[in-house]
Amino acid sequence: MEILLNSYENVDSVNVTTYQKLELENKQLPILEYNIRNALSATEIFDAEREANDIYRIYGRIEYLSLLNGLSMQYSKLNNFFTPQKLYSKDIYNSFDFYLMKASNGYIDISGSGIQYVRYFEVIATPNDFELFDAGYSNNVYGEQIYAFNFNKDYNVAVYTDQFNFPATQLYLYAKYKLGTTGSGGNESMSGTTWNPNNSNQKYKTLIPNNNLNIGDKVYGDLIEYSKSLFLQEQLSPQIYYISTPYLNDSNVLNYLQWKYNPIIPFQLKYFSSALNKANTGTTVYEQQLSIPYYATSLGDGNMVWRDILQQGYVDSETNLGVDYPFINKKRYLFL
């Protein structure tokens, strides 16, 4: 029922009440069988929602074990490297910047035959998105503080692919050392492992700039082996950083100590199956063509190869690999 003006819309019109007649029907209809016998599985619904969701919240803890931890901020003599300081000492907070990275594109083919590549990584989170703090009531077996970390943003990995169109199965924590000055009058320097494109077995070191990184910047990474026909990437050698720190010996001659560490730490999001799938788009039946994922690799002549991504909660009996991260509030919580 609605109050409407008379059809003559002017100041003399009289408001009237208009009634709308409703027609009611009474007839019998059959109840379809699926309406009364369909059973819902909460487990199946949960698994389907989790598999369809690629949003991650990443957090974890760090045990920082290093001879540099607890030392003086200023080095001058050799014994400074072995004398812990209670105040104004180096620790994880003032020694590193932490970034989150994904595998990028623009790999370098150093073998010339499409087998060995230097992998690049792209920054997707800066120290502004990273929180580090002392973990409450947590010490390691040496009585040293354990630290907790958290990235305060969610990451949808569905949009991430690499040089070979592989979906993201890993993200990477990048621990970049903060170079400092020393009491000996020299400055610290840092270099990283590089691979000579003319000889993949030859390694040499290139200086790493001390500048801050922004989202989208690329970092020279590790050495991998790629097999197109097997749809497989494997790491041959990790990236190693070298810190060169000057000090004065007893004769006041400048010497250097060298430290090394692995700056790139993987976060395992998911795993590929050990089984290799093959199909031909020209001869495969339509139903099977629909099962070919978007990331499948073409070998030419319609031949495609790929590996399925293992479902959350499933462990491959052959490789004993699998992940089962909590899924709450429409995101997966990855703890490392």
Domain boundaries, the chain: 56-270
User: What's the rounded mean pLDDT across residues 58-65?
Assistant: 94
Higher pLDDT, 136 or 9: 136
Residue 1 has pLDDT above 60, yes or no: no
Residue 266 has pLDDT above 90, yes or no: yes
The reported pLDDT for the residue numbered 45 is 87
Whether the Cβ atoms of residue 319 and residue 142 lie closer than 8 Å to each other: no
Give 316's pLDDT tier (boundaries 50, 70, 90).
confident
Give 185's pLDDT tier (boundaries 50, 70, 90).
low
Percent of the chain at pLDDT above 90?
A: 55
Residue 78 has pLDDT above 80, yes or no: yes
Give 7's pLDDT tier (boundaries 50, 70, 90).
low
The conformation of residue 144, written as its DSSP 8-state character, comes to: P
Would you say how long the chain is, in residues? 336
Alpha carbon 255 to its chain's center: 39
Q: Side chain identity at 254, as an amino acid letter? A: L
Shortest CA distance to 116 belongs to which of 240, 201, 205, 208?
A: 201
Summarised one tens digit per residue, pLDDT across range 229-262 is 999 999 999 999 999 988 888 888 888 889 999 9
Whole-angstrom Cα distance, residue 257 to residue 67? 12
Whole-angstrom Cα distance, residue 268 to residue 172? 9
**The dihedral sign for the CA sequence 304, 310, 315, 321:** positive
Residue 161 has pLDDT above 70, yes or no: yes
Q: How far is CA 76 from CA 137, 190, 267, 299, in A?
A: 35, 18, 38, 60
The reported pLDDT for the residue numbered 251 is 86
User: What's the rounded mean pLDDT across residues 125-154?
Assistant: 94
pTM summary value: 0.84
The reported pLDDT for the residue numbered 82 is 85
Give 302's pLDDT tier (boundaries 50, 70, 90).
confident
Least confident of 95-109, 128-142, 170-184, 291-305: 170-184
Summarised one tens digit per residue, pLDDT across range 8-59 is 555 566 666 667 778 888 888 876 665 555 677 888 888 889 999 999 999 9
The reported pLDDT for the residue numbered 15 is 63
Shortest CA distance to 188 belongs to which of 71, 62, 63, 101?
A: 71
What average pLDDT does the chain have? Answer: 88
Whole-angstrom Cα distance, residue 298 to residue 280? 9
Higher pLDDT, 317 or 202: 317
The reported pLDDT for the residue numbered 197 is 76
Shortest CA distance to 109 belongs to which of 238, 234, 229, 226?
A: 226
